[in-house]
Amino acid sequence: MRRIKSVDAFRGYCIFAMIVWHTSYWWASPLHSWALILLRLTTEVIGAAGFLFVSGISSVLSIRRRMEKVKSDPNYSKQNFIREYYYRSFLFFLLAVIYNAITVIYIAGLLALWSWYILFIIGFCLLIAYPLIKLPKIVRLILAIFILLISYPVFDLLESLRYTNLFWELIYHFIFFPAHEYPLLPFFTNFCLGTIVGDIFYEIYSIEEGDLRKTQIKKKIVRNFALFGTIIIIASILSNIFIFHHDITTWRTTETMGTILGVDRSVLTLMLWVIGWDLVLFSLLTYFHEFKFTPEWRHRFLFYFSYYSLTLYFLHDITAPIFWNRLDIYSIWIPVTITVMVFWYMSKIMYEKLGSKLSLKWHISRFAVYLTKDKS
């Protein structure tokens, strides 16, 4: 099965959105919080949740391809595949724990090692992806919906109990800390849905007959994803207005804009918002990469962000102190745009000159293969 370019492009968009959001958040004056809230709705929450979504897709595609290799390569056994997969997942998870140790351990002590930042939850999800995808797609869908529905009642319950004794404090911490980031509940929903989409991609892109494959791509991915994604986005907006009673005429106030689509992640509609946009973006990217872009133009801009996604995740942190909280909302776009283009051009040069040598993902995979080899 050939590489699916829309998956690369989507991952690249997530990195692009992350750089735009973080540099804007770090550099903007606190006086412009209303603009940051709008930016968060269009970049950060979609991009970060999109990481989980595309990680679920990539996990399925990787596992399915390696299962094919088990059948076709007599020197590659199922035991090799399972060991390699878990080594790679554990190494990623360990990297996330180290990142937490460097960045947040001073806030909450040793318990901060278990903090649901985006790398941590991706690493955790990768560790359980293999048994998860053994479940039928309909079971995974029911599981995702169930998690989505129970997340906020469970959060409210544990929030009220966490200060009563150490047991409840630890339960709260291991599921929700920090609640303003990407706690297991409800963000495991995005990964779980990603595994379903990954199986859909695998089934369609495994079709050898070209015309039939194109027809299925247009029908089941481009059309259906756009339709369901749009319905979910509209449901998110309407539920906030008519169920949670957020008045659309007050969006200009900082307080209301902070909750109109659940930016504080305390309401169900934020998850509907990001899931809907994930589907719509995948529909658009698949349409353009499969039916509009010529081969030489396909995913050129977003590809480099995708290829070095993990490397850029760590590297972009060095930009934080450059203009810390010093720029207004009008002048900030010039340095943000320049920063994005510098990272893109740097990634392009890295790819042309060094290829995979500067890709952290590649080194993790190679080390996992090395650990899997029989040393006897």
E-only strand ranges, the chain: none
- pLDDT confidence of 248, banded at 50, 70, 90? very low
Instruction: Give the mean model confidence (pLDDT) for residues 20-33.
Output: 80
Among 261, 194, 195, 242, which residue's Cα sits nearest to residue 42?
261
What CA–CA distance (Å, rounded) separates 304 from 84? 26
Among 169, 46, 52, 26, which residue's Cα sits nearest to residue 121?
52
What pLDDT score does 332 carry? Answer: 87
What pLDDT score does 131 carry? Answer: 94
Indicate whether 263 pLDDT > 70: no
pTM above threshold 0.75: yes
Mean residue pLDDT of the chain comes to 85
189 close to 147: Cβ distance less than 8 angstroms: yes
What CA–CA distance (Å, rounded) separates 259 from 240? 9
In DSSP terms, 333 is beta-bridged to none
Indicate whether 254 pLDDT > 60: no
**28-32, 301-305, 310-314, range with the lowest pLDDT:** 28-32
What CA–CA distance (Å, rounded) separates 11 from 318? 21
CB hemisphere CA count around 337 (13 angstroms): 5
Two structure tokens written together for 23: 């540099």
Indicate whether 318 pLDDT > 50: yes
Among 14, 28, 16, which residue's Cα sits nearest to residue 341?
16
Instruction: Give the mean model confidence (pLDDT) for residues 252-281.
Output: 62
Instruction: Give the mean model confidence (pLDDT) for residues 10-15.
Output: 93
pLDDT digits (tens, 9 = 90+) for 149-182: 888 888 888 988 998 999 999 999 999 888 878 8
Percent of the chain at pLDDT exceeding 70: 87
pLDDT digits (tens, 9 = 90+) for 108-140: 778 888 999 999 999 999 999 999 999 999 999
